Structure 1
Amino acid sequence: MKKITLTGLLTYGFSLILLIAVISILSLGLFSTEKNTEKLFNQIAEIGITSIEDQLKSHLRPINNQLEYLASLIESGYIATNDSQQFNKLLQGTLAATPQVVGIAYVDEQFFARYYARDKTDVFKDYWRDHPVITHLLSAPEATNHVKWLDPVYIPGLKASIIQAYRKVSLPNGKTGLLLTGITLEKLSAIIKESAKDMRPVIFLLNNQQQLLGLSSTDYQPGRFVSAETPAPTLANLAENHPLKAIWEANQTPSKWLKNPSIKGHSISLDDNTWEFIYTDFTGFGNSPWIVGIYFSYDQYADIEQTFIHLLIASGCILLVMMILAVGGARFIGNRLRHITTMFTKVGQVPLTKVPRLRKQPLQELNLLAHAFNNMLDDLQSHENLRRLFGQYVPHNIAKQLMQSNGTLEPKMQKATIVFIDIEGFTALAEQISPQQLFTMLNEYFSLITRILEKHDGMITQFQGDAVLAVFNINTPAEHARQALSAAIEIQKALSTTLFCNHPMRCRIGINSGEVIAGSVGAKDRLNYTVHGDDVNLAARLEGLNKEYNTRILISEATHHLAPDFTCREIGKIHIRGKQQIVSVFAPNSDRSSHSSGQGYAYQTAI
């Protein structure tokens, strides 16, 4: 059975997906245009209402807060109203903290008023006994002491209408007073216009459904309509064809798509156009709740619908171009993949060194595949090198076992001989030469030590700074004690006749035989093959004892018994730190004759 090619699959697949996608978009788009537009209106309405509410609160709440704060200072007695200098400074500070108000005043129960206007530098003092509003507010009992707002009032001296906020205060001496401030209708309209500068709908703010407190229309100027008789413009002051003037007319159609129960709305047909009004009650700042809202016409958003339709038509044209590109792209991808699969087939058929690397691909996925192929090729080419390099870190037989056991060797007990080698005077030597020179010396030194140890079938498990830990008889049964002693004596002879970067180097060696546990130790992703046990520690202790007995090689009694053909002399029975039993320590005599050199850096093996 003939199988479909990848090129054909991509060609037909891309074309079919594009066809289905464009047809679906066209069908769904044309069907849901009106619903989406209405949904857009709903979102704009809710965002607009929330935005203007937040803006108004951000300007009006500080007025409440400042009056409450000022009242608390007076009522607590912290500020005395009869201390004119201190009290006047407090009024000035309050006025500075609320730049949106026109001024601030305090009236005592004798109707003596102190008033700070924003455009004046001095306090204004007067008797306001003839002000009916002041008289009413001071004489009327208050159910609660908190900030309240009044309806707009025209102030002849300011030639403007303001909305006043007041707070009745109770002085510690039982008397009462009145704090007054206010914001002009012009300032309120400016706030609304600022909030609406990035919005297409018009924002309005009404009091008692008729008084116009603010409107974001650029041609609206509240000062043109206000007077003592009409402290605030009303809807009747608007032009005859102004849509907001018809907001409460009887031919209202409820908005069916509003989901937020706190927002109201209705539409009105006016002059062959449909206007949508969205509004809600705005509480906390008026004698009665204000009405904040927006209005817009469907014609304002007709361009959105037209643009959407144009995009759908354009997508049909693009479909043809995309299908052509899909065919070309499918063939391009298919050819690239066939080339990569061909390269995979070459692996295993020809020598790896003759398999070329894949070039960088233009597509990310194909480039990742090519990168993976090149990495695989590098890994395969370096596989043979890995075995050779692995042998530089562990003996060949250990490396073979590690590869067979997936990198981990189970711990096992083994009789072995441990050799611990450390450089004598390494700290002083390191201070005399440069780090680069020290690095070179160590490499030359370790190369010599490694060559001799491996010559006698020893295995180095660790390089610890300038020290070497080696073990004999791990996975290679032999006369491990004799091999260890032979290697130690040969090392000392080699060091006595060798210079490293024109410097002599000498070492101390401790040797012990016994049972050790050998295996892989370390973290999950980083293991080290090594040996552990008390007999390993004893070898390290013996190495350190060379300092005290002026020797180069010290061996334990166990090693001495396992290598009887080596003539040794007993250094003594020594108490080793960390061990309870006394240990007999020996030094071999077989290298005594080799401890002198014509180069003048002979050593002694014992005292």
Structure 2
Amino acid sequence: MRIKTRIPMSTLLTGSVGILVFVTVSLVLFFSALANVRNTVDLLQAVAEQAMDSLADDIRAHLNPAEALVEQLRTRVEQGRIGVTDNEAIARFASGAMAAAPQIAGLLVWDKQFREIEVLRSANRGINLKVGSIGDPNRAGALAKRLIAAGKPQWGAPFHEDGVTYVNILTPLSRKGEFTGMAGSGVTISELSAFLASGSKRYNVTIFILYDGKYVLAHPDLEQKTAGSQGKSAETGLVRLGDFPDPVLSQFHNAEPRAQPEGATFSIKSASAGDADYVVLSRQLTGFSDKPWTIGVYAREGRFDEQFDRLGLSIAIGLALLAVSILVTWLLARRLAAPVKQISQAAELVSALDLSKIPRLKSSRVAELDSQAEAFNRMTSALRLFETYVPKRLVTRMLQDTNPKAAKPHEEILTVMFVDVIGFTAKSEHMSPGEVARMLNAYFTVVNRCIDAEGGTVDKYIGDAVMAFWGAPEAQADHAARACRAALAIAEAAENDAEFPDIRLKIALHTGPLLVGDIGAPGRINFTVIGDTVNTCSRIESLGSQIDDGSRVVAMASHETVEAAGDGFETRKLGAFSVKGRAGKVQVLLLGSQK
């Protein structure tokens, strides 16, 4: 389903970076005031709330790609676009998602027999595919039952395997209501800690995450401080808070609470380490495990004393920087959004197969946008070449048709047309190959235009003949009338179109039941029609030589076509003719002008 409310990229980038800058300024102001008097704490309570909200949002945004990955896979499995045992399709899908979200450690997929497909990120940031079996089938079975009962993705407890601990999410997979397997993805706590380290460095604070209030889940110095640690949990691989070598964080539960601002959703504590005093802010974050997380930051009190005397100036400078940053971000966002919007508009034209209106995308100084533009230009060049060899109108209608059985072979009452050049062999033997090609291309161009104008489908070229039909894939109650109008349009063009070559034509129309749909071998399938109606129409066309009255175009139609077309056309009976392959005779009429 398409989202109704969509946000322009320039607005999103401006808002996101603007909020980030705002939070940065707010944190500086908050920690400057927190070390002083109560009224300053009250003044900055809103800023602190926004800072903690931003921290929670940043952590969610960092982990959400893993949830989006399994949710998208779940949807594609439900739609039948990916099978749980299709190694290559799963690897391609995971590789694309992991390329866009480098924090994702990998994707694991299990079928009902717990056969395992692993797509994991390697040490050099590449992608490795591994197929095997799950280690503990009993545990996997219990996990599958829990997921089936939940019926949606579930974040689980930290998972420890091969010396690595993951924050993980699992989802059941099903097809047509039947359980087919499960899938999981996640982020390593090392990668999550690296993410916190970048934020800690940016704000000059220490950001941390605790699991169940007892274990350190993520910390800027997690790798250095826990290397060789003996206090790790065997189940989760996490270090207990009391054993973690951070003198401030280890006091978390025993730190002195500070006055809590009314209505605040975070707690404030004081802690000391050595000769320094620290302020600790924390709140709970739910939704990413079976037990709550505690997210928080701490920083030295003394570093804010100088800013306290300049609080007013800091606010003014902060707001000015915010305005400048938003302005710069808005300008940059517009520059970045312009080529993305251009690609989006071009993609809409591609979906409509309107390739002639697609401009060549300009190069960009941004590497990713430049690569995207180059790839898109190559794609449209390939599509233009592909368009030459397939009926554009047919493909467009098939794309617009939401019925999955539209192309499945089935019987319909349709009208078929054959157009052939009278005396082509005699005429072409006195022409060079190039002249013959130019003559045929000019002739085919006019005929195709007339057929297309009446909603017909050109089925194939048979030497100098054209075969077309009406009534499929798009249902056309007036298919016979459309075919008659197209025949008259061809006759009109042959008489008056300066581009039409100096040739005479015979046209045959016949209406009847046909098998229509995708017919052929894998890799070479045509949407075509077959049946006695086609054969009969071809025989009627061959009668043109017998009843040739010398006119520029001899347009013939069977009694069935004229009857189906209604009384809107002038006709003249030519008689009943025996045609090869039919026991009875075929009533043929000469098609005149439209009434």
- The answer to whether TM tops 0.5 is no
Larger Rg computed on CA atoms = 1
TM (normalized to structure 2)? 0.41
